[in-house]
Structures are given as structure tokens and as C-alpha cells.
Amino acid sequence: MEEMIDAGSYFGSGTGGQSSTPLETLNFCLNTSRGVRGPMNRYMVNSGNGDEVNGVADVDKVEKMTPAAAKEHINQVCLDIGRFFFENGIPFNCARSPSFVSMCHSIGSYGRGFKVPTMYELRTWILQEEVKTTSIIVDGIKATWKKTRVSILSNGCPHGNVFLRSIDASDCVKDANKLFQLLDGVVEEIGEDIVIQVVTDNASAYKATGRMLIEKRKRLYWTPCAAHCIDLMLERIRELPQTKNVVLKAKRVANFIYNHQWVLSLARKYAQKDLLRPAITRFATVFLTLDNMYELKQPLQMMFVSKEWSGCAWAKKDEGKAVKKIIMNDKAFWHNVVYCIKIAKPLVDVLRMVDGELTPAMGFIYGAMDEAKEKIAKNLDGEVSAYKEIWDIIDEKWEKQMHRDLHAAGYYLNPQFRWSPNVSDHPEIKTGLWNCMERILDDRELFIKVDAQLQDYKDKTGFFGHFASLSSYLTRPPVQWWDHVGDEVPELKAFAMKILGLTCSASACERNWSTFNQVHTKRRNRLSTNRLNSLVYIMYNKKLKLKFLKKQSRKVEEDPLIVEDVLSDDEWIANPNDDEDVSIEIEDEHGGGHGEIESSESILSKRQRDEASNKRDKGYFYSFRTH
């Protein structure tokens, strides 16, 4: 990684000051303590006696301060920074931003006499310079598009992508013709010769738009978002009678714990982790939280029989008693939690794969869906009557919405499946492969050559039969593997890398529109459209780049489904009294009913109501994943 985080520019090269690696700066952001010297200490420079050279103060004077004076100086700096955050409503987690550390570093390095930029400077030359810096990052990735090709993704803020621009599509969200004009214009802007697919939401307007696109652009595919399809499967499963009731009870527990600070502190004391597992999609959150709740079953039960709980006021209130009954006495609850985990976990694993960052999903999605169905059947002891209902839900979404020729081609070209003893030879796989070759290659002679080279790949002849190939196809990502062993069949190699480098998901962050909304609320400041677009362009690409740097700094990839922050209006923690009450029957371990517990299913939580209203105000985002 060549990027250096420097004074005034944490991506690209800076203009002076002491530079540090991205990893060092990230660690500083997350780990700096008040007692450790760092960029913030430069604020304590005392240059009142004229001991400055070229605007840089004599740092040695800081070290000569008494401990009391040094503490007073740094406290004043921190208070001033805090006041800026408080008065302007800036989220506290912005203090973790590398750009915040870089800003403090630059100001401290300059010393006294620094003149803060005016509002006019921020909105003119400073903004323009940062757009140029961001464009350098984007242009570096654009240079790879000829080789890797491009997927256009709309309606999301996906991981590992380059953000091109946003468009206010408020007036055409349901108008297929207008959506077609927007997306077709983006294809034209990038170049039809390097765009393989457009990935969008699965709404009817987008389906119609996709049909128009592939009718006009003969070498292009429209692909529905796999993450959205899988989330719809999870939604259907969650609405089954045997799963719906257990989710209501789990929400009752989460609502109670998260809405009472003392109870939350006690739960964290016993569990040593949070109960809620907020994910990038609503229904992934449901099943990840159930899985986590089952893992914490024993700590939760220990909490409800502890002296702390017995002596607290909540133990004597109806709400506390009701939640305790769910955890301690409801024999059906934990049994159904296990059932939910068995049927949902294989699908959640597929969702995790399509939204992961390390390996593009196109070569895995077809096989992963088949494997998920088999795992569900195995988890339910192979009883057809038990798993058929779940399979029907999966098949309906897969056959009608999700399965595409690109998925079949990716399956065939992935040696991890093609060379497996359990490889599927279903005719739709080769049909999908040939359809992709005919559409993408667009040359009869090239088609014939690639088709002939497929035989070498299938039979493991030439380089494919070499030890270097056979020893690495299970461990190397498919794109890297083809790049490594495909030199004898360059035409097939190029085609395979294009297919296997594609994404399957357009909406990895459906629940987080914060960047777009944060910038576009600046309309109150009468920012011009160009400045608004520049701000979104900078913020999205900086955040995407920061995500890449964070990924590089980790030895193990974090779960791509988990989001860092719990929304305060999330249905799992929203006050249950704000929503419609639902009665839940609780059964104790002896089979006797203990009456009804008033619960709530926050189907229309504040977050969802806000999302419904905000759709009128959201633009539609076009970004690019390259591998």
C-alpha cells in the first residue's frame, strides 16, 4: 500500500510535515490516550517570544512546561474541540476520522499565527482542490477498467467501490423510462465496451429498466441485487408462523434491555458483549440477533437469577417479570430460536459472501445457493416435510428474480466447483455459459476459440494440469488463479476474469444513507448543485478508500454484515410502547400457560417510517466495483 497519510491529506501525498503510514495513523485515531504525546500536543506550543521559524514553533518549549501548565494547555485545546463538536451537532465518532487527526496535526505543525479558512475559501478553492485529489484516486482505478471491466451499481453504497456521482431521481423512482435514460446515460459516459452488467434493486420499475437496457445494449446484462433477493427470502421465512412468534418474543427481550440503562449495564456485565447484532439488512439483523441471543442464553439466565436482578426495581414490575419468563420458563422460545438458526444461517452465510470484500461473488453465488439448500435440509434431519416449505421460498425468489446466465457462467468458470467431485452438470449451467459467451464476446471466431479452450480447462490439460494449478485452485481467489495459470489460453483467461471479477450485490448498505443525507441537508446553506455534488463525490470516495485501508490493516476480515453503530430508532431497541401491541402466549417448562405478555412488533418503526418518507428525497447512486 503506497498511500501515505500526511499533513492535510490522509490519502495521497501531503504538502509537508511528518508523514505516517495509513496503519499508523488509523491506530493513532483509535488508540491514542491523553497521556501520550502526538499531534495534539503541538497545540501547546508557546511561541510568544518570537521563537518561530517559517511559522513553525519551538516544540522544545512545550517540553519545558510544568506538568500542571501542560495539562491546562491540553485541556483547553480539548475543550475548544469539544465545543466545536457540540455547537455544530457533529457526531462524536467523527473524532475517529483520520482527516480529523490530520487536521489537528497540520494546525499544530504550523503553530501560532495560523489563520482559519473562511466560509468562502472552504466552498471555493479548498473544495476544488479536494475534488482534484479525489479524482486522482478514482482515475487510478479507472485505469484498470479495460482489463477488469465494470459493474454499474445503483441504489446503494456498496463496499470496495468507486463513487462516480449522484442523481436526484426523486421524480422518476417508479418511471422505468426515466430510470432507463439515467442508467443508459451512465453506461454511455463510462463506455459500453467496458460495462458488463448493471446491478439494481429488484423493484418492478428496475426490472422494466433492465429489459430496456439489454435490448439497446446488446453486450450488457442487467442483474438484480442478490443481497436484496436473499433478504426477501429471509423476510418470507420470518413471516412463517413458527418463526414470527419467536421473533416477537426476542424483540420483547431486546426492547426491554436496551430501553433501560441499568438493565443494559447488567446484561453487558454477564454477557460480556452486546445482545443486538445490527446488520446491513433488516432481516439479516433478525436472524443474527437470534443466533447471538442463543449464544448468550446461559449468561442471560444467570442475570435473571442473580442477586442484582432480584434486588432491583425492575424485577418487581410486570415488564421485567414478563421478560424473565421468556428467558427462564418459556420452553417453546429457545426451541424455536434453534429452529430459526437452522433454517436461516445458511442463507445468512450466502448474504455474507455476496457482501464480502475479499473475493468477488459471481463465481460462488450459484453453488452457494445450492449448498445453502442442502445445509437447510441437513439441519432439519433430511425430513422433506420439514424443509420443503423453506426450499419453496428459496426456489421462488431464485428462479423468478435471482438466477441469471452470469451466475451459471461464474459457476462453470470457478475451478473450485468445476473440478469438484460434486459438480452439477445441470444443462442450465452450460446454457448460461454459452449465452454469456455469445453476448459478451460478440465475435464468432472468438467464441469458437474460447469454446475450444474450455476443453483444456475441463480436462485439466496444459497449464491446468500443472502442480502450480492443481495445488492452488482451492485456495486462490478464482480471478487470481486464472491470471496465474491461464497464459496458454489467453482468450478464455480474459473472458473468465471478466466474469469472475463481477459483483452480485448493489446494496450492501441499504440502511445507511448518512453520507448522502448529511450533505444534502446543506441545502439550507444554499449550496449550489455543483458544490453539493462535489461534497458527495469527496465524502463517498474518501469513505470507500478509508474502508479499504482499514481492511488492509486487519489480519482477518470483519463480518461484512455487521454495522458498527446501532440506530437509536431501530425496531429492536425502539420503545415498544410506540407501536401496536401484540399478545404473545408464554409456555413454561411444565407446559402450562402463564397468561399473555404485551409485546410489540415494530413493523413500522420510526426508522422505517422515516425511510418511506425519505425515498422522495433520495438520489440514486452509481458506483463501480473493480477487481
- Pairing type for strands 150-154 and 195-200 reads parallel
Cell of 536: 458527495
With 0-12 CB in 10 A as exposed, 13-18 as middle and 19+ as buried, what is 524?
exposed
Q: Say if CB 39 and CB 105 are below 8 A apart.
A: yes
Q: Where are the domains of the chain?
A: 22-116, 133-230+516-559+612-625
Q: Quote the pTM value.
A: 0.69
Q: For residue range 283-315, list pLDDT tens digits in order.
A: 888 999 999 999 999 999 999 999 999 999 999
Residue 170: the pLDDT is 59
Q: For residue range 379-419, list pLDDT tens digits in order.
A: 999 999 999 999 999 999 888 877 899 999 999 999 999 99
- The residues pairing with 562 across neighbouring beta strands, listed in sequence order, are 279
- Residue with grid cell 495513523, as numbered in its chain: 25
Of 446, 511, 442, 530, the closest CA to residue 219 belongs to: 442
Phi and psi for 494 in degrees, rounded to 5? Answer: -65, -40
Residue 315: the pLDDT is 93
Q: Say if CB 567 and CB 278 are below 8 A apart.
A: yes
Of 299, 291, 307, the closest CA to residue 328 belongs to: 299
CA diameter of the chain: 86
State the Cα–Cα distance between residues 27 and 96, nearest whole angstrom: 10
State the Cα–Cα distance between residues 66 and 62, nearest whole angstrom: 9
Q: Say if CB 394 and CB 347 are below 8 A apart.
A: yes
Residue 36: the pLDDT is 38
Question: In this structure, what DSSP letter does residue 6 have?
Answer: B
3-state secondary structure of 9: strand
Residue 169: the pLDDT is 60
Helix axes 241-258 and 282-295, enclosed angle (nearest 10): 80
Residue 155: the pLDDT is 40
With 0-12 CB in 10 A as exposed, 13-18 as middle and 19+ as buried, what is 561?
buried
Please provide the distance, in angstroms rounded to a whole number, between the alpha carbons at the two ends of the chain: 16
Of 277, 298, 297, 299, the closest CA to residue 289 belongs to: 277
State the Cα–Cα distance between residues 140 and 144, nearest whole angstrom: 7
Q: Say if CB 276 and CB 573 are below 8 A apart.
A: yes
| Residue ranges of the chain with per-residue pLDDT less than 70 | 1-64, 137-138, 141-173, 279-280, 357-358, 507-533, 536-537, 540-541, 544, 546-627
Q: How many CA atoms lie within 13 A of 153 on its CB side?
A: 27
Residues 6+ apart with CB under 8 A from 197: 151, 152, 220, 221, 222, 223, 406, 502
> How many beta carbons lie within 10 A of that of residue 345, not counting itself?
17
State the Cα–Cα distance between residues 54 and 52, nearest whole angstrom: 6
Residue 563: the pLDDT is 61
Of 99, 96, 102, 74, the closest CA to residue 18 belongs to: 102
Phi and psi for 362 in degrees, rounded to 5? Answer: -60, -35
